[in-house]
Each structure stands twice: as structure tokens, then as C-alpha cells.
Structure 1
Amino acid sequence: MPVVQLADGELNYRLEGPEGAPVLLLSNSLGTDLHMWDAQMPAFSEHFRVLRYDTRGHGHSLVSDGCYSIEDNGRDVLALLDALDIAKVHFCGLSMGGLIGQWLAINAGERLDRLVLCNTAAQIASPDVWNPRIATVLRDGQAAMQALRDASIARWFTGGFAAAEPGKVEPLVAMLAQTSPQGYAANCAAVRDADFREQLGAIRAPTLIIAGSADPVTTVSDGAFMAERIDGAQLLELKAAHLSNVEAEERFTQAVLAFLEA
């Protein structure tokens, strides 16, 4: 698998699709890896040069010491683009990936063409949610990741979808169970500390916001908050919980393609 060498380790990535096509960068959610986008790849790679990567602390990318920040993760993206000599991309990120997209749009807007923020918020939950989770994961290690795997089924998918589509649910929650506890906890801290509520007005990229009607983590109200503060942003509500690209696969894929090719 190709990697980019960062100052403190390797960032795993895949670059697929026709050479010369516009580049679409996909950023994974907390507890998943670049394979969370597998369902979108056949359609996306027909139209775009698709760049996927494992966020620091996930998949086959580096697990560095200490807490991370969304800025750290955003600068990893910039380093990846620089290493691959890519000047500008469309960006699509889900949950934590959406936070990374917000940071990039606010701080490095010249590197983005169009922006898709999926199942995310300008601030996700509160320290009261994140701090106990961080403490538990650091204390119990892989056992805690297995417990999170079981609990996340109800957050990531509606009950009906989870019961009807175990073949789609299992690979996603397996990613969480296999995530480095250290890397997961460090990224929980990054999500905990991210707050872009007062900076959204600085985003100039054309923006599509996707929210899940049954998402208990980042709600439709969170999506509407962002849409009201990002000039010209569009808000799309899908019938899904947190991983709308999996649960509402066809509509999600069609909506993103239509927006990016507008």
C-alpha cells in the first residue's frame, strides 16, 4: 500500500480513478478507515481521481503519542496533497472527517474546490461525552474497543438497517474494533476540542451538508446550524443514522456526484 512519509510516521493512502480527472479527497470518520468509502468507489472513480487515506491513528497510518487536534489532522491532509503534488481538491468528509474539512476550508481554503460535510457538526458533543470514553479506552485497551464496537451499531445505523443488512454493518464496526486504542483516544480528544461555530462564516467553498434524519450523534439541527452560517450552503437530509454513506448508499452517492459536477 502506498504511504506518504510525515515527520513522525507514515500516512496510508490510495489514489484511484482516471489520471487527469479532478481529484476528490475522502476523509474517514472516527473509528473507521479508508474502506468506509468502498460503496462509493465504483461511481466516484468513474468521474474523479479519488484520494482516500487513513486518518492518523486509524487503519495503516501512524499512531503517534499524545492527544491529537483537528489541526494536526488537517495539516496531515495538506502534507499528503503536497507530497502527491495536488494543488486543489474536492473534499468529502464524514463526522470527524467533516471537522477536518471545516478546518481546511477555514484555514486553507485555496486548496479546496467544493466541500461536502457529512453527518458532522461545528462542535460534536461535549467533554462530558468524550472524557469518560477516552479514559475507558486508555485503561481497557482492546477490550474497550470491542465494547465500543457493539455500542456503535445503534449510533451508526438505524435498528431496521442493522437487522436487515448485517453484511454491510459488520465490516464497518469491525474497523472500530480493530482501531488502535491509543489512536482512537487521541482522535477523541481532537473531536472533543474542535469548535468551529464562530468560524463557519469564513468558509467560501461551495458546500453541501448531508445530515441523517435518525442520526443521534450529529443531528439535522447540527447540519442546519452549519448551513445557516456558510454562505450558499445546501442541506440534504437522508433517511439514515450516522453513517449515511452506507445506510443511504445510493441517494448519498448520487447527491454527492450531482453537487460536485454542478
Structure 2
Amino acid sequence: MPFVDIENRAVAYRDIGPKSAPAVLLAHPLGMTQAVWDEVIGTLVGDFRLITWDLPGHGASAAAAGPLSADDLATEAVALLDARGVARAHFVGTSIGGVVGQALLVASPDRIERVALTNTGAVIGQPDLWHQRAARVRNEGLIAMAPELVDRWFGPAFKTGNPAAVSGWQTQLGRCDDESYARLCELLAEADFTGRLTGVDRRVHLLTGAEDGATPPAVLEALAGELPNGEQSILDGIGHVPAVETPGPFADWLCDRLGERGTTPPVDYAQGLAIRKSVLGAEHVERASNNATTLDAPFQDMITRLAWGELWGNTDLTQAERSMITLAVLAALGRDGELELHLKTAKLIGLSEAQLRQALMHVAIYAGVPAANHAFKLAKQHGWGQPLD
């Protein structure tokens, strides 16, 4: 698991999905970990870049170093975005994660785009009850308190049908750092966004479960009333953690609210042309462009934008990795003309002899020895390999 240092404290995080896709920052509930998003990630990962992290003293993150505020957690969220090179992201938060989202809306609205908050409120619970819980955690420990706390997380149907999951989350809660959990309880005792959200200039999508005993629908309704443009939805039969209780419908709800999946800006012709020249060489590309006619000029435009701009320009793979894939596919299909071109250019982008050899050996295993043998022959004709001593 990767970690980032924020204010001299190790923070565990995950950064999953295409780096070119819209980024989504997800904040988990109190007493849980970033694993709460696992089943949601499975649905969204192909279309969004998903960044999750463990709150102080939760999961693999280091314990809190002192008292905490909602602004502290928002600052941590922004620092994580900075560390991952993300200027703006959608935000999803459940429970205390929703409190983090409200703090971001107030303090750093320029860093977040669309916002979805679930099972949260402008005020959650009563201050004296949070202080009492913090005191109990310090005295009794989370292991002893886990059964009664987790009982409030899930709706009756989930608890009846998923006893192993309930038991597993009790175990996970018991592993949290007691002092960090207590400090987060004290944070919730002080957190109050009443009257502070009137300047929010975007729609905030709100969701809760009809069976949520921790933040009942009335709490979310009050939050909706604080927002100039809050949209509220309620899931029947669901408790406090929709990401665990109903991950499929919850993921669909998120997609509808966060916008079209995978909506990355299109690459224009000039960008594609620059990448095409960097890989194939300016001379070859200019020759192909000069030889274009009314028949194939639109085709040249298309492959420049799509093959070179969209595909080769995507940073999820290095150019050397894309070269290996391309060489293997062309060799397997017997596309000699294109194969010879890419054998020439592979050296320009830094492909090593060992990488080429491995690509063609994969061709031998998965596409046939004759295809690989022919590709090795062409490679040697284009200067690959040295004579044996």
C-alpha cells in the first residue's frame, strides 16, 4: 500500500484507474477504512480515477498527533490531491467523510467539482454524546465497544443476511487507534456547518438510508436546507453505509451524479501530430501527409487524432510499453509493412533489445512460432541484435 507524508504523519492511500480520467476523492466513515469503497471501485474504476485514503488512526494511516478539526481533515485531503498531482476532483464522502466534504466546500471550493455526500449532516448527533463516546473509547477501548457501534451502521436486512460482514467490520473497528477515534468524536462534537454553506455555488447531491440510525433522513434533510442547491435521495432498507450495503445501486447513483463516465477532453489534430512525429519520426509523418489525397486525407486525420493523440498520448503506459504491444500485435497478424516501420522507430523511443525479444517470444507462445520467427528475421534486417562471439 502506498503512503504519503502529510504534516510529518504517514497517510495510507490508493490511486486507482486511468490517470486521464476524471478524478474522484472518496472519504470513508468514522471507524471504517478506505476498504469501504472496494465494491464501488470495482464498478467505477474503468471510467474514473479513484483516490481514497485512511483517516488518522484508521486502516494503515498513522495515529492523530493532536486534536483534530474538520478543517484539518480538509487540509489533509487537499494535500493528498497535491501529492497525486490532481488540481481538481469530484468528492464523495460518507458520515464524517461528508463533514470533510462540507469543509472543502467552505475552505477549498476551487479544488473540488461535483460533490456527493451520504449519511451525514451539517450537525451530526449531540455534542455531549460525542464527548461521552470519546471518554468511553479512552476508558474501555474500541474492541469492547465495537459490537454496539457497528450495530448502528447497517440496516436490519443487511445485518440478518450478512453476519460475517458485520463481524468483519467489528474486527476492523477494534483495530482503529483508540485515541485517534476519540479525537474524531470530539471533532464531530464541534463540527457545525449551520449557516456556513449559503455561498456554495454548485449542486450538492445528498443520499441517506431510510434505516440509518446514526444520521437519520431528517439530519440529511436539514443539511439539504442549508445548501442553496441540495438534492436529496433516500434508499429504502439501507442503513448508514450504502457503499457496503448496496454497492451496485450506490455506484450507479454516483455515476449519475458525477457526470458522464470517462469524459476526458478530446485530443486535437496538432497534439496527435506531435506525438506521431515523436514516435515515427518527422520525415515519415511529413511524407505520409504530403502523399495524402482527397481519398485518404480524412483517414490520416483520424489516425493522427485517435491512434496517436488518444492512444499513444495516454500516459497509463509508457511509449516503450506501447511499442512492445504494437510490435507483438503486428507480428502476430503478419502486418509486415507496419511491423517494419515500428521496428525502426522502437529504437528511437528507447525500446531495448531484451524488451523486443520478450515481446516476440510472447508472439511465439501465443500466436505461433512461424509468426515470431518471421518477425525476428525482419528485426535483424533492421539492425536489431549483435553477432554472437
Deviation at 1:106, TM superposition (A): 1.1
Does 2:77 correspond to 1:77? yes
Indicate the residue corresponding to 1:23 in structure 2.
23
Match status 1:93 vs 2:93 = yes
For residues 152 and 247 of structure 1, what CA distance do their matches in structure 2 show?
16
* Residue 215 (structure 2) pairs with residue 218 (structure 1): yes
Q: Tell whether the 8 Å contact from 2:128 to 2:189 is kept in structure 1 after alignment.
A: no
Deviates further, 32-41 or 61-70: 61-70
Matching residue of 2:2: 2
Aligned to 1:191: 188
Report how far residue 152 of structure 1 moved.
2.2
Q: Does 1:174 align with 2:171?
A: yes
- State the match for 1:248 in structure 2: 246
Classify the secondary structure of the residue corresponding to 2:50. strand
Q: Which residue of 2 aligns with 1:114?
A: 114
User: Among 257, 262, 265, which residue is 1:259 paired with?
Assistant: 257
Q: CA deviation at 1:16?
A: 0.4
Alpha-carbon distance between aligned partners in 2 of 1:65 and 1:112, rounded to the nearest angstrom = 27
Please say if residues 200 and 226 of structure 1, whose CA atoms lie closer than 8 Å, have aligned partners that are also in contact: no
Counterparts of 1:233 and 1:161, CA distance in 2: 28
The CA distance in 2 between the partners of 1:227 and 1:255, in whole Å, is: 17
The answer to whether the 8 Å contact 1:238/1:248 transfers is: no
The 3-state SS of whatever aligns with 1:63 is coil
Q: What is the rounded CA distance, in whole Å, between the counterparts of 1:138 and 1:165 in structure 2?
A: 30
- The AA in structure 2 aligned to 1:79 is A
In 1, distance between residues paired with 2:139 and 2:151?
A: 24
- Aligned pairs for 1:98-177 within 5 A: 98-140=98-140, 144-177=141-174
CA shift for structure 1 position 148: 2.5
Amino acid at match of 1:123: V
Match for 1:236 among 225, 230, 233? 233
Q: CA RMSD in A?
A: 1.4
Q: C-alpha distance in 2, partners of 1:26/1:171?
A: 21
Alignment size in residue pairs: 259
Rounded Cα–Cα distance in structure 2 between residues aligned with 1:202 and 1:147? 43
Q: Tell me the alpha carbon deviations over residues 46-73 of structure 1, each in whole angstroms, 9 at most, x when there is no partner.
A: 2100001001221111213332111111
Query: For each residue in 1:48-105, what CA deviation from the matched residue of structure 2 results, as whole angstroms up to 9, or x when unmatched?
Result: 0000100122111121333211111111111111111110000000000000000001
Shift of 1:125: 0.8
Question: Using the alignment, how far apart are the partners of 1:57 and 1:203 within structure 2?
Answer: 31
* Alignment TM-score, normalising by the size of structure 1: 0.94
Using CA pairs below 8 Å that are at least 6 residues apart, which structure has the higher relative contact order? 1
Moved over 6 A (4+): none
Q: Distance in 2 between matches of 1:186 and 1:206?
A: 31
CA shift for structure 1 position 31: 0.5
Q: Distance in 2 between matches of 1:148 and 1:203?
A: 38
TM-score, normalised by the number of residues in structure 2: 0.64
Q: 1:149 to 1:25 in 2, by over 3 A?
A: same
- 2:170 and 2:26 mapped to 1: Cα distance? 19
Cα distance between partner residues in 1 of 2:39 and 2:256: 17
1:48 counterpart letter in structure 2: F
Structure 1: state its 5+ residue gaps. none
Measured in 2, the distance between the counterparts of 1:201 and 1:121 equals 15
The answer on whether the counterparts of 1:113 and 1:206 sit within 8 Å (CA) in structure 2 is no
Identical counterparts, % of pairs: 30
- In the TM superposition, residue 3 of structure 1 has moved relative to its aligned partner by 1.1
**Residues 219-259 of structure 1: CA deviation (Å, up to 9, x unaligned):** 11111112223122211101211112222322211111111
Q: Which amino acid aligns with 1:188?
A: C
Q: Aligned AA for 1:245?
A: A
Give me the whole-angstrom Cα distance separating, in 1, the residues matched to 2:202 and 2:173. Answer: 31
Q: Distance in 2 between matches of 1:253 and 1:172?
A: 21
**Structure whose alpha-carbon radius of gyration is higher:** 2
CA contact (8 A) 2:195 2:226 kept: no
Distance 1:11 1:205, change over 3 A: farther
Between structures 1 and 2, the one with greater helix share = 2
Q: Deviations over 1:145-175 (max 9, x none)?
A: 1232101232111222111112333333322
Where does the alignment leave 5 or more consecutive residues of structure 2 unmatched?
Answer: 261-389
- Counterpart CA distance in 2 for 1:174 and 1:18 is 33
Whether contact under 8 Å (1:168, 1:246) holds in the other structure is no
